[in-house]
Amino acid sequence: MIYTVTFNPALDCVVRVSNVKHGIVNRCVQQDIYYGGKGVNVSVVLNNIGIPNKALGFAAGPTGQALLTGIESMGVDHDFVMLPEGQTRINVKMVEIADADDVYAAGEETAINASGPNIDAASLSALNETLEQTREGDIVVLSGAAHKSVPVDAYASIVAAQAAKGVRTVVDVTGPVLDCALSAGPFLVKPNDEEIAEILDVEDPTFDQIVEGARMLQEKGAVNVIVSLGSKGSVLLDEFGNLHQAPLIKGKLVNSVGAGDSMVAGFVGGYQQAVEAGLSGYERYEHAFKLAQACGSATAFSAGLAEKDLVDELLARL
């Protein structure tokens, strides 16, 4: 079973606007509401491609209830902890489009993210109790930054506790939380090229430097490292030292929201499929990485998150 954990989910409101003028009222040409948060996105994509999973995390207030009702309507199984105070955040993303008749055209994006509710110690303990249901061979995905009220070592504690049971963990977060979690040995981390540049303290890393940065993350404790390279595709450095490269799949960019989360969904779902099929270590990673590319691209080419038909179509091209 795959479990996702979202410490700070959100209702994501995406407005598409033509001919933006600042300082006055603007009318959007399209508004979409998505049930978001990085771990929630992973669960939705896994559900869309037919891979069983359960979404865990924290929700609060009326917006939290709306989030849970929404993902239930999409068929996502969940067991969220309801916080005693506050409200699940609402994030706003404005996409400036050139043609009002082509509402899902790519455009400059401006995001305003809320901070979210405090997470008290009792609620954090409740999440840890929920995670006691995992079993050897399961995968737990920890995605997205937590609220500042959460201790910096919270992810590391979960990784260590799950590793003791033979559960693989994915940590998709940045900064001190990632640094702390690396010491616990996560199965996968997924930085992008900008984050690798920060690790190496360089402005525009070369391909060799990106690989060097991935190896540094392995030396710090990560078992596998995927680095997304934007228009240059992505690379996977697996636990055996093999480097898997994938160019960007060609298609019309519509949406950047959730593309990285969709890659994570494809990877963990593909890895689980490969294990169940009895594939060898190298073949497991080849299959998982291909499904990661297909899922990430399917989201990038869609108004919402990846759907199975498009994922299958793109997978056939790899």
Domains assigned to the chain: 2-315 (3.40.1190.20)
pTM > 0.85: yes
Contact 19, 98 (CB under 8 A): no
Weakly modelled stretches of the chain, pLDDT under 50: none
Q: Which tens digits make up the pLDDT trace of 72-106? A: 999 999 999 999 999 999 999 999 988 877 888 77
Residue 145 confidence (pLDDT): 92
Residue 103 confidence (pLDDT): 80
179 assigned to active site: no
Q: Kind of pairing, strands 53-59 and 81-82?
A: parallel
Residue 106 confidence (pLDDT): 75
Q: Which tens digits make up the pLDDT trace of 284-295? A: 999 999 999 999
Contact 270, 296 (CB under 8 A): no
What's the one-letter identity of residue 41? N
Nearest Cα to 182, choosing from 211, 145, 224? 224
Residue 109 confidence (pLDDT): 87
Residue 108 confidence (pLDDT): 87
CA dist., res. 186 & res. 235, Å (int): 18
Interhelix angle 259-276/281-300, rounded to 10 degrees, is 150
Residue 93 confidence (pLDDT): 92
Two structure tokens written together for 197? 């540049």
CA dist., res. 197 & res. 231, Å (int): 16
Catalytic residue among 32, 172, 238, 261: 261
Residue 247 confidence (pLDDT): 85
Residue 89 confidence (pLDDT): 98
Residue 240 confidence (pLDDT): 96
At 110 the three-state DSSP class reads strand
Residue 253 confidence (pLDDT): 83
Contact 301, 253 (CB under 8 A): yes
Residue 162 confidence (pLDDT): 98
CA dist., res. 39 & res. 172, Å (int): 9
Helix and strand totals (H; E) in the chain: 10, 14
Nearest Cα to 59, choosing from 48, 69, 67, 51? 67
Tell me what the pLDDT averaged over the chain comes to.
94
CA dist., res. 246 & res. 225, Å (int): 14
Residue 102 confidence (pLDDT): 82
